[in-house]
Structure formats: C-alpha cells, structure tokens
Amino acid sequence: MEEKRVLYSALHKEYPVIDHGEGMYIYDTTGKKYLDCAAGIAVVNVGHGVKEILDKIHAQLDNICFVYGGTFTSETRERLAKKIIDVAPEGMDKVFLCSGGSEAMESLIKFTRQYQVERGKLGKYKVISRWQSYHGNTLGTLSLGGRPSWREHFDELFPKFISHIPACNCYRCPYGLTEETCNCQCALELERTIKYEGPETVSAFVMEPVIGTTAAAVVPPKKYVEKVKEICDKYDVLFCVDEVITGFGRTGANFAVDHYGVTPDLIGFAKGLGSGYVPVGGVIVNKKIVDAIAAGSGALTHAFTFSGTPLACAGAEAVLDYIVDNDLVKRSYDMGEIFLEKLKALYKYPVVGDVRGLGLMLGIEFVQDKETKAPFEFNFSGEVSKYCFDNGVMVTGGVPGSADGQIGDAMQIAPPFIITEEDMDIVVDMLAKGIEYVMEKHGIA
C-alpha cells in the first residue's frame, strides 16, 4: 500500500475517507452514511451542502479570493461585521476577523493588554481564566485553558501571566455546595484571586459561558454570571467570553451571554459563523475598548495574513444570512429543549449521571455510581461514541478529566440546528445501544 504522508493526530488510526455531505448526513468513500450529530465538532450549524451558501461562495470565488486586509477592505467584509454587530449584545461596536478559534482567543488576550496600555494602566497585564475550560491550542490559548491532559507536556513553555480559578459546575460543585446552599463561592473565588494577585495587576477574566468539550455543556446559573461580571466591574477587570462554540446560536440565543443579560467587553467566536464552509473566527469588541484604542495609538498592534479575506467573509456572511433568514437560533433553542427531554430517557441506565445543556449544546456525564458521582477509571464516553461512530452516528465523547482534571468523562452532543425529532430518536436509540454495549463489555450491571 502506498505510504501515507499526512501527519494525523492519531498516527496508528485508520481514518475513513470522506466523500460528501448533505443536510444532517455525511458519506465516506465506501458509501457508509453517518448521521452527523456532532456537527463535525460543533461547527456545521447550518448542516452540510446548503446550496444557497455554496452559490454565494462560488460567486465570490469568481470575483476575488484574497487581498491583504491591511491593504484593502471589501464590501462583504464590512457587511459581515455590521451583521455580526446587529446580532451581538448591546454595546459591542466592532469586529476583528481571523481564521479560527485559537487565533480569535489569542487575539482577544492581546486586545485586553492593548486596552490597558492605551489607558496608561501598564501594570495591568494578568489574565484569570478557569479550570475545566478550553480556549485553543496555541501556547497562549492552551495556557489560558484548563484542560490538564492537553496542557501537561507544554507547561514549561507557557507564559506566566495567567492564573486559573475553578469553573462553575453545579453537578460537581468544587465547594461541595448544593442548589439550596449555593452562595456562589466559585464566583467569589474570582474576587479572592484578583485580591491575591493585586487588582492593579489584573487585566481580564476569561470564561466559556457554557463549557464546551472539556466538560460537555456545563451551564452556570444566572447568578454566577451576574456575580463574575459585577466583580470584574468592581476591580476594573475586563469581562471576556469565549463563544467559539456557543456564538451564533448554539445555545439557542445569538450568544450564550444573552441568556444572562450581561454585556462582555470582548467576545471570541469562530466555529458556527463559518459553519465549516469557510475558516473564520474573530473577536467582537466593546465600544469602550475601541474608544480607548482610537483615542490612544489609533492602531491595533496585531494582524494575521488571512484576517477578513473576501472569500472567508463572503462565506461567513452567507452562513449568517442563512441562520437569520431561517430563524435557526430559535430553532436551536426549541429543538434543544426537545432533545434534552429525549436524552433524559438515558437516565434509566445506572451509568448516566447527568444529562444537561442549553439549546443544542448538550452533554451527558457518565459515572460509576450515581450517588457518589465517582467517574469510571476508563474512558466510558469515548467507548460509547466509538460504538455510535462505527454504527453511523457521530457524537463527541472521550475527553478525559471532565470531573476533576484527571478523571471523569462526558460526551458532547452538538448537532446542526436543522436536526429533526426523527434524527434525535435515531441518536438516542444509538446512544442506548452504545451504553448497553459498553456496560456489557465491562461487566457493569
């Protein structure tokens, strides 16, 4: 057999070869069909092969694909930014564009620092983020994230301006509190950390409003988000959200922060805007930051070669138009409520500890024991998702450490917003079979 030359992330795995996709389904070159209930990896929110999006991309291809964004702008770039601001929370002013989530979050960190420099607050440089989070795979964003299994080999290389606090995870409250006894200790931890670090040194706080793949759809209560925002304001710390997964409708609102009624200073976004049709990401910037830069140096000390190319912008604009015109954000909310209820049927299994989510950002956490919430010593969710994949249904399982950074496993279910109830029934049925298969394989009663 011919030698393969791609450096895949799993060197010993045989990858199926993709052929084409349509709607909720993708097909490999053997003709095998997969129900894409993972939207790739929470990306393809509008579904595969949408003709009207492809037509607009083709039109742009015929016109021009690339100009350097530092030299030219384009009509589609301006229109896209305006349309993003139209759906963004009140107070957001301008959009920086790049090619993906890590670039977006790396840019976001740099903007927090530039803001402080422009205001003459040179001592403010530290960023506080949370364990049980993921913000990207560059050294800056990996150090910002809190996924130990991905961080461990790179720790020595990380910049040292970042510290972490525990994430808000009510199923596994890091302070042992319950819904009745909760007094938002995890939010107060932000205040404690700001004080220990020295408020005059802390520049920004970054969180995923709903945790993505690291812990699978962990939704904080409203009072948590309100409290961390209040603490940020009190200490003149920028409140930044990573909406790389959640942005553009995944949780059933344009942005996940919309559920909480708070306005962030910076929003990082990527996946859903391009929906896989084009690589695109970016940062939505609050007016207060734009004003500080405009009144100061008047220039970003930041750029990428592929920022806001006409092709990426045309694709993203087509996707956003499609989402708005077809009311897909509302659909994500409504279908999410239905899917969550259907998934709750899986509570009948002793290994299903938590079924959770918001909109179409859903998750299942697997445990050995529902009372103690002790996780499995092996990757239960990974084995279930492999079973599902082998049998033609895609979900995302297998990131270890969702419970405490070391162990625990949860599965993310983040389908395209076009999912139907029939599709959901297929997925729930397949998950049930997968759970039964893994239980039997490991002798779990």
Ligand X SMILES: Cc1ncc(COP(=O)(O)O)c(C=O)c1O
Report the interface residues with ligand X, using CB under 6 A: 100-102, 105, 134-137, 208, 212-213, 242, 244-245, 270
As measured in angstroms, the least distance from the Cβ of 177 to ligand X is 26
Distances (CA, A) of 353 to 2, 370, 374: 46, 5, 9
As measured in angstroms, the least distance from the Cβ of 317 to ligand X is 19
As measured in angstroms, the least distance from the Cβ of 400 to ligand X is 16
Neighbouring-strand partners of residue 244: none
Question: What is the separation of C-alpha 63 from the centre of its chain, rounded to a whole number of angstroms?
Answer: 32
- Using CB atoms, what's the residue nearest to ligand X? 101
As measured in angstroms, the least distance from the Cβ of 185 to ligand X is 24
- Determine the residue type at 310: P
By beta-carbon proximity to ligand X, the closer residue of 162 and 351 is 162
Length of the chain: 445
Three-state SS string over 38-84 comes to CHHHHCCCCCECCHHHHHHHHHHHHHCCCCCCCCCCCHHHHHHHHHH
Distance CA 12, CA 148 (A): 23
By beta-carbon proximity to ligand X, the closer residue of 126 and 135 is 135
CA dihedral in degrees (330, 334, 337, 338; nearest 10)?
-150
By beta-carbon proximity to ligand X, the closer residue of 293 and 415 is 415
Q: Are 108 and 266 in contact, with CB atoms under 8 Å apart? A: yes
By beta-carbon proximity to ligand X, the closer residue of 136 and 398 is 136
SS3 206: strand
> Residues near 345 by Cβ (< 8 Å), separated by ≥ 6?
428, 432
Distance CA 283, CA 266 (A): 7
By beta-carbon proximity to ligand X, the closer residue of 137 and 185 is 137
By beta-carbon proximity to ligand X, the closer residue of 101 and 146 is 101
Distances (CA, A) of 142 to 103, 135, 256, 409: 12, 6, 22, 20
Q: Are 214 and 137 in contact, with CB atoms under 8 Å apart? A: no
As measured in angstroms, the least distance from the Cβ of 102 to ligand X is 3
As measured in angstroms, the least distance from the Cβ of 250 to ligand X is 10
Handedness of CA 371, 376, 382, 384 (dihedral sign): negative
What DSSP designation does 156 have? Answer: G
396 C-beta neighbours (distance < 10 Å), count: 24
By beta-carbon proximity to ligand X, the closer residue of 108 and 355 is 108
As measured in angstroms, the least distance from the Cβ of 274 to ligand X is 10
By beta-carbon proximity to ligand X, the closer residue of 114 and 246 is 246
As measured in angstroms, the least distance from the Cβ of 246 to ligand X is 8
By beta-carbon proximity to ligand X, the closer residue of 217 and 244 is 244
As measured in angstroms, the least distance from the Cβ of 195 to ligand X is 28
